[in-house]
């Protein structure tokens, strides 16, 4: 009778650091948490709970959901620190979860809703196509670029523009605190969406006048936001094409705009700003500046978003920004770090 000798497992399996295993698992499973939070935003769970619909049964009735499956979903959200289970089948919002409400300062609900759309979800499932071919996943899945798709699909266009306003309110609003606009008479927000950022700046600087400049169908939504904030006398929304021209002004601001486009397209936009800016004026850009190799960098993940969702967009290093600006007869004058990890770049005419 032969005995079986079991070989000792390879040493590499014996010595894997538990911390490294947990870190990789956290990254892999992080996808589940992200999808859960985005679905919570899409369903409006935070708004329902804030409105007093705070039990599993009440939420199930409001959403047309099965209570037993919804309960599991809510418990998962509590494990992500979005909800707190206050009692048997009763739920409260944590401070983190309150950011998924639509009526709070700095709300991220609409950004999460964008990531829950079919357009965004299916495009990211085609990440492999973008990585291997260099072609945009969105175009591969939907047959056209995101801008053309948005023009033809009102619901996606609305969700997208609300998401950009969400970023302006939660992320870029710090610009109004770090930059002094007191010497500027007229500021144009190029690609300004619904005007959320410009409204915040105008409220902080009462002598400033502003123009939200975006595609005509986007500018329509900006007019409503401007009126809602009582700023119509100092601000207008103008529809146009920033590749063709921009309105004359003392200063321009472009937040999360340049990363949507190729170098040549960015240079065209910047040249239009340089051509139209009044003497002594400036061009401001709110963007991520990529960090040196091997550093933890949220901007690198946003760079993948650009790879998936745009035809030629990307995040850039400071040196790459300097090169773009130089080709538009501008120079980088100052960089203001923002609390969210991105930066405000100030450029002046050469």
H and E: helices and strands count for the chain? 17, 9
| Residue 147, in any domain of the structure | no
| Residue 123, in any domain of the structure | no
What's the maximum distance between 2 C-alpha atoms anywhere in the chain? Answer: 97
Q: What is the pLDDT of residues 253-275, one digit of tens each?
A: 999 999 999 999 999 999 999 99
CA neighbor of 38 nearest in space, from 121, 146, 147: 121
259: phi then psi, degrees, rounded to nearest 5:
-70, -5
Rounded to whole angstroms, how far apart are CA atoms 338 and 179?
Answer: 10
Question: Stretch 119-139: mean pLDDT, rounded?
Answer: 97
- Our answer to whether residue 259 is catalytic in this structure is yes
Count of domains forming the chain: 2
Q: Which domain holds residue 248?
A: 172-292+310-349
Based on the fold, state whether residues 329 and 245 are members of the same structural domain.
yes
Q: How far is CA 145 from the centre of its chain?
A: 18
Q: Of the residues 54, 81, 104, which one is the last residue of a structural domain?
A: 104
Based on the fold, state whether residues 248 and 327 are members of the same structural domain.
yes
Residue 218: predicted pLDDT: 87
Based on the fold, state whether residues 324 and 207 are members of the same structural domain.
yes
Give whole-number Cα distances, 152 to 142, 158, 238, 324, in Å: 12, 11, 21, 32
Based on the fold, state whether residues 189 and 86 are members of the same structural domain.
no
| Residue 114, in any domain of the structure | no
Residue 17: predicted pLDDT: 78
| Residue 86, in any domain of the structure | yes
| Residue 287, in any domain of the structure | yes
The answer to which of 11-15, 94-98, 197-201, 329-333 has the lowest mean pLDDT is 11-15
| Residue 37, in any domain of the structure | yes
pTM score: 0.87
Mean pLDDT of the chain: 93
| Helix, coil or strand: residue 11 | helix
Based on the fold, state whether residues 99 and 218 are members of the same structural domain.
no
| Residue 70, in any domain of the structure | yes
Q: What is the pLDDT of residues 175-185, one digit of tens each?
A: 999 999 999 99
Q: How far is CA 2 from the centre of its chain?
A: 65
Identify the CATH number of the domain in which residue 234 sits. Answer: 3.40.50.150
pLDDT tops 70 at residue 338 = yes
Based on the fold, state whether residues 192 and 316 are members of the same structural domain.
yes
Q: Of the residues 104, 134, 156, which one is the last residue of a structural domain?
A: 104
Rounded to whole angstroms, how far apart are CA atoms 220 and 165?
Answer: 14
Based on the fold, state whether residues 48 and 177 are members of the same structural domain.
no
Q: For residues 228 and 237, is the Cβ–Cβ distance under 8 A?
A: no
Based on the fold, state whether residues 220 and 325 are members of the same structural domain.
yes
Catalytic residue among 120, 172, 194, 259: 259
| Residue 298, in any domain of the structure | no
Q: Of the residues 85, 104, 123, which one is the last residue of a structural domain?
A: 104
Rounded to whole angstroms, how far apart are CA atoms 114 and 128?
Answer: 21
Residue 339: predicted pLDDT: 87
């Amino acid at each position: 009778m032969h005995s079986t000798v079991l070989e000792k497992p390879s040493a590499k399996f014996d010595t894997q650091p538990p911390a490294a295993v947990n870190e990789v698992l956290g990254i892999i499973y992080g996808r589940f948490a992200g999808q859960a939070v985005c679905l919570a935003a899409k369903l409006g769970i935070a708004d329902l709970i804030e409105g007093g619909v705070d039990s599993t049964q009440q939420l199930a009735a409001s959403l047309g959901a099965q209570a037993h499956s919804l309960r599991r979903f809510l418990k998962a959200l509590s494990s992500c620190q979005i909800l707190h289970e206050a009692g048997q089948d009763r739920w409260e919002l944590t401070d983190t979860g309150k950011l998924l409400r639509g009526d709070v300062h700095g709300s991220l609900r609409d950004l999460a809703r964008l990531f829950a759309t079919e357009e965004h979800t299916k495009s990211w499932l085609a990440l492999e196509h973008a990585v291997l071919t260099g072609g945009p996943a969105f175009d591969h899945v939907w047959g056209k670029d995101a801008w053309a798709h948005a023009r033809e699909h009102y619901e996606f266009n609305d969700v997208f523009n609300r998401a950009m306003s969400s970023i302006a309110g939660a992320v870029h609003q710090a610009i109004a605190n770090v930059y002094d606009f007191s010497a500027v008479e007229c500021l144009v927000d190029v690609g300004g969406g619904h005007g959320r950022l410009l409204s915040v700046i105008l409220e902080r600087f009462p002598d400033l006048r502003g123009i939200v400049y975006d595609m005509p169908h986007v500018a329509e939504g900006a007019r409503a936001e401007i009126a809602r904030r009582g700023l119509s006398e100092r601000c207008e929304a103008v529809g146009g094409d920033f590749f063709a021209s921009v309105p004359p002004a003392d200063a321009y601001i472009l937040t999360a705009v340049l990363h949507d486009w190729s170098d040549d397209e960015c240079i065209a936009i910047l040249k239009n700003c340089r051509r139209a800016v009044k003497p002594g004026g400036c061009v401001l850009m709110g963007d991520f500046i990529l960090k040196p190799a091997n550093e933890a960098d949220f901007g690198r993940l946003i760079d993948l978003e650009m790879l998936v969702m745009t035809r030629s967009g990307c995040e850039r290093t400071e040196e790459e920004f300097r090169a773009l600006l130089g080709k538009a007869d501008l120079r980088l004058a100052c960089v203001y770090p923002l609390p969210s990890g991105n930066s405000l770049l100030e450029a002046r005419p050469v």
